[in-house]
Amino acid sequence: MKPPESKTLRRELASIVGDDFVLTSLPDRLAYNADCWPRGIILSRGRQLHRHQPAAIVQPRNEHEVLGVVQWARRTGTPIVPYGAGSGVCGGTLADGDGVVVDLKRLKAIVDTNAEDMTMRVESGIIGMNMEVELQRRGLTLGHFPSSLYCSSVGGYLAGRSAGQYSSRYGKIEDMVASMRVVTGAGEAIETGPAAHASRPRHLVADSGPDLTQLFVGSEGTLGIITESTLRISKLPTTRLYRGFQFRDIPAALEAIREMMQLGLRPAVVRLYDEFDSLLARRKSGGGSQSLRAKALTAKLGEVAMDVLPVPVASELKGRLSGVSKAVLGRILGQPLTLNALIDVLPADCLLVVGFEGESPIVDNEADIAFDLLGRHGIDLGREPGEHWLQHRMDVSYKQSPMFDAGAFVDTMEVSTTWSNLTRLYEGVRRALAPHVLVMAHFSHVYPEGSSIYFTFAGFGADTDETLRRYEATWRTGLDAVRKAGASVAHHHGVGISKAGFTAHDHPGGRPLFQALKQTFDPDGILNPGKVWGDAEGTETWP
């Protein structure tokens, strides 16, 4: 079925959400042309602004209006794309010319907070920071602190299985959610599980069948639109103990972290930087976000090179690196193999930032045990590195990196595996990406059974087309290396478009199961088409 013409579309949508909340102007559609997927930034820099402009954006104010939009989409055969705050980095909220974006920012209420059972009921469009400020005012916390906290929504966290910086203590969002209210693509509003907050009678909740909470978490809007959720919260901790440790290399540090986690200790924060990332972490304010790292990379790459290169070479380069120009970036990032080889011989150590939060005297003892253990494997650097990280952990730059202006790109890839496979994964991905991009990594979400690795890579192309080619080749090569290592291709950024060709790797034999879910909850295929599961494993090209 062909979606309605623009005037009809606008009129019909306005009858559901009101005229003020149907956006069809070119500037509005341009604003939704890209999320935070770096490929979108490359395309925008290259003036390719047409690929993902939606036909319209609607901003419903409640579940009833969301239902109206879904039913309209079913009737007209129009693809619809749920949108939280647009901070996703995998293209999960991108539409195409026919699609309508359903922006949930008006669903921003905290419906209820209950300290008796430590749960809260919240609408999906609320920004994480606004919610956390309100919770902390009451001495409570969700414990979910992604570096995008100021510009990301609760619905987005749930849709993409997000993780915050304190995941080792509080878990990922799928560990915090008790139930959700979802409008499915079949045009029904359902509660995915029983919740004391839900005003609906208990008997309306199914007493058989799958646990829909886990099936809708991480579905990225392909099965339904999350409108509300019940989340488990905690008391705000009163004691924070942070420390830095230095290790001679990655395996030594990982051994110490593994031992700590398998004792059952629950640090709030564990961030281990590899040799190059450690250099950057020490040089910049904080060790956190992708944007920050990109900025630091730009500003400090020359400085780092000066530190590690032989003096004559450094002298020659010094003048050229005085400003970050396209030529300089091209020179540096255009020879990634050399640069990565250089990193391999860096006379650097690895930095670990570890933090414990909770109540005295329990947390003091837990931290003491951990710090003693880590000190036996590495060198205790004292409180400063940890407290420095704590102070600057949210220093995120919301400006697009100047590197993109200069024809370069920076992106991150978060993958996970078991402890016994972790070094193999780290080395395999680094080796595979080395000819394409400069690559560094940190390990930041750890569990008794394994860890995630957060790779950051930077590359360069002479023009938009070459940059895009290299960017796509980098992703394909990187994910293929993850696949070969037997690790998961996504730990907390979700799949979107960028990894859709590799989802089957994490779920061998899962395609017919996903298709069954799709036919059940989105029988017309209107919800976020083309996301999460690609058409064929590892072969398709991005739209």
Residues 499-528 that bind other proteins (CB under 8 A): 499, 502-503, 505-510, 512-517, 519-521
C-alpha span between 422 and 430 (Å, rounded): 12
Q: Which stretch binds other proteins (CB under 8 A): 187-195, 286-294, 397-405, 436-444?
A: 187-195
Contact positions with other proteins (CB under 8 A) in 414-433: 414, 416-421
* Cβ at position 534, least distance to other proteins in Å: 11
Q: Which stretch binds other proteins (CB under 8 A): 109-117, 340-348, 384-392, 434-442?
A: 109-117
Reduce the DSSP state of residue 98 to 3 states and report it.
Answer: coil
Sign for the CA dihedral angle at 108, 146, 407, 93 comes to: negative
* Cβ at position 498, least distance to other proteins in Å: 12
Backbone angles phi, psi at 32, to 5 degrees: -105, 10
> 292, 487, 526, 527: which one contacts other proteins (CB under 8 A)?
487
* Cβ at position 120, least distance to other proteins in Å: 11
Between 171 and 355, whose beta carbon lies closer to other proteins? 171
Find, among 406, 519, 538, 384, the residue nearest to 467 by Cα. 406
Q: Is 295 in the site for other proteins (CB under 8 A)?
A: no
Q: Is 495 in the site for other proteins (CB under 8 A)?
A: yes
Between 121 and 388, whose beta carbon lies closer to other proteins? 121
- Residues 289, 147 contacting (CB under 8 angstroms): yes
x/- track of binding to other proteins for residues 206-225 (CB under 8 A): xxxxxxxxxxxxxxx-xx--
Contact positions with other proteins (CB under 8 A) in 114-173: 114, 116-119, 160-163, 167, 170-172
x/- track of binding to other proteins for residues 55-94 (CB under 8 A): ----------------------------------------
Other C-beta atoms within 10 Å of 509: how many?
7
Q: Is 237 in the site for other proteins (CB under 8 A)?
A: yes
HSE toward the beta carbon, residue 269, CA cutoff 13 A:
28
Between 98 and 175, whose beta carbon lies closer to other proteins? 175
x/- track of binding to other proteins for residues 9-48 (CB under 8 A): ----------------------------------------
Between 423 and 477, whose beta carbon lies closer to other proteins? 423
* Cβ at position 447, least distance to other proteins in Å: 4
Distance of CA 197 to the CA centre of its chain: 28
- Residues 479, 540 contacting (CB under 8 angstroms): no
Find, among 144, 388, 181, 420, the residue nearest to 287 by Cα. 388
Between 251 and 543, whose beta carbon lies closer to other proteins? 251
Contact positions with other proteins (CB under 8 A) in 356-385: 358-359, 361-363, 365-366, 369
Place of tokens 């919610």: 131
**Who contacts 90 (Cβ-Cβ below 8 Å, separation ≥6)?**
37, 160, 493, 494, 495, 496, 497, 498, 499
Ramachandran category for residue 56: left, alpha or beta (phi over 0 → left; psi -120 to 50 → alpha)? beta
C-alpha span between 433 and 446 (Å, rounded): 24
Q: Which stretch binds other proteins (CB under 8 A): 21-29, 41-49, 231-239, 328-336?
A: 231-239
Between 193 and 385, whose beta carbon lies closer to other proteins? 193
**Who contacts 445 (Cβ-Cβ below 8 Å, separation ≥6)?**
163, 167, 168, 172, 270, 416, 451, 452, 491, 492
Between 254 and 321, whose beta carbon lies closer to other proteins? 254
Place of tokens 């990894």: 499
C-alpha span between 249 and 239 (Å, rounded): 30
Between 295 and 377, whose beta carbon lies closer to other proteins? 377
Q: Is 263 in the site for other proteins (CB under 8 A)?
A: yes
> 175, 380, 387, 537: which one contacts other proteins (CB under 8 A)?
175
* Cβ at position 196, least distance to other proteins in Å: 4
Place of tokens 């979802």: 182
Q: Is 443 in the site for other proteins (CB under 8 A)?
A: no
Q: Is 176 in the site for other proteins (CB under 8 A)?
A: yes
Angle at 174 between CA 78 and CA 220, to 5 degrees: 15
Note if the bond before 146 is cis, omega within 30 degrees.
Answer: no
- Tell me the chain's radius of gyration from C-alpha atoms: 23
Between 47 and 203, whose beta carbon lies closer to other proteins? 203
* Cβ at position 73, least distance to other proteins in Å: 19
C-alpha span between 46 and 465 (Å, rounded): 8
C-alpha span between 76 and 4 (Å, rounded): 7
Between 159 and 438, whose beta carbon lies closer to other proteins? 159
